[in-house]
Amino acid sequence: MGIEFGLTTGSFNTKYGPLAALGWQFQVRERLKPMEKVQDEAGNPEFSLADKLIQVLISIMANCEYICEVNSRLRSERLLAQAWGFDRYLEQSSLALALNRLSRTNLSQLGQAVQAIWSENSRALGHDWRGLLWLDLDLSGLLCGKEAEGSEKGYFSGKKMLLDAN
């Protein structure tokens, strides 16, 4: 199944297009598969504990500062849920209850799953640490030429630096 992104006038749009694209890529590449190792002792509900934790992760990426914001921001976003492999989003109370019921075993399993996801996807882990990792930040806001290597237009709040007229 493929997902098509574009502009429409339909009532089925989502305001979380980039998050939907990310979710679809995670589904296709099975990036969050290690989360399935986080098991719930409660049996086999409609949504597993891993599904609930992934929905909490999505809520964080959707800029929900509190779990209670899930109902107002994500519950109506069916297309976003489908991009992440869910039919719908759970209510905030179900997600909060799942977080409250995490045992030490669950937390250990979650830690192992996050470590596995990090190990499989981190570019920093592939860096040759015998040498230096150069990180160049320029916070001066000075203009640079279009020919400058690796230059990109950025945003600086406040006053811009004036070029010397001399």
pLDDT at 131: 82
| Beta carbons within 10 angstroms of residue 117's beta carbon | 16
* Spatial distance between the Cα atoms of 89 and 79, rounded to a whole number of angstroms: 10
Query: What is the pTM for the complete model shown?
Result: 0.69
pLDDT of residue 32: 94
Gap between the Cα atoms of 94 and 90, Å rounded: 6
For residue 46, the model assigns a pLDDT of 83
pLDDT of residue 87: 92
Candidates 22, 42, 61; CA nearest to 106 is 42
Angle 52-109-26 (CA atoms, 0-180°, nearest 5)?
50
pLDDT in tens, the chain (166 residues): 455 666 666 655 678 888 998 999 999 999 999 999 998 876 557 889 999 999 999 999 999 999 999 999 999 998 899 989 999 999 999 999 999 999 999 999 999 999 999 888 887 777 787 887 777 776 666 666 677 766 666 665 555 555 555 5
pLDDT at 160: 56
**Segments in 5-91 forming alpha helices (H):** 17-29, 49-61, 69-73, 78-83
Looking at residue 3, its pLDDT comes to 59
- pLDDT score, position 17: 85
The domains of the chain are located at: 17-122
Token pair 């694209």 is found at: 21
pLDDT, position 88: 93
Furthest-apart CA pair in the chain: how many Å? 75
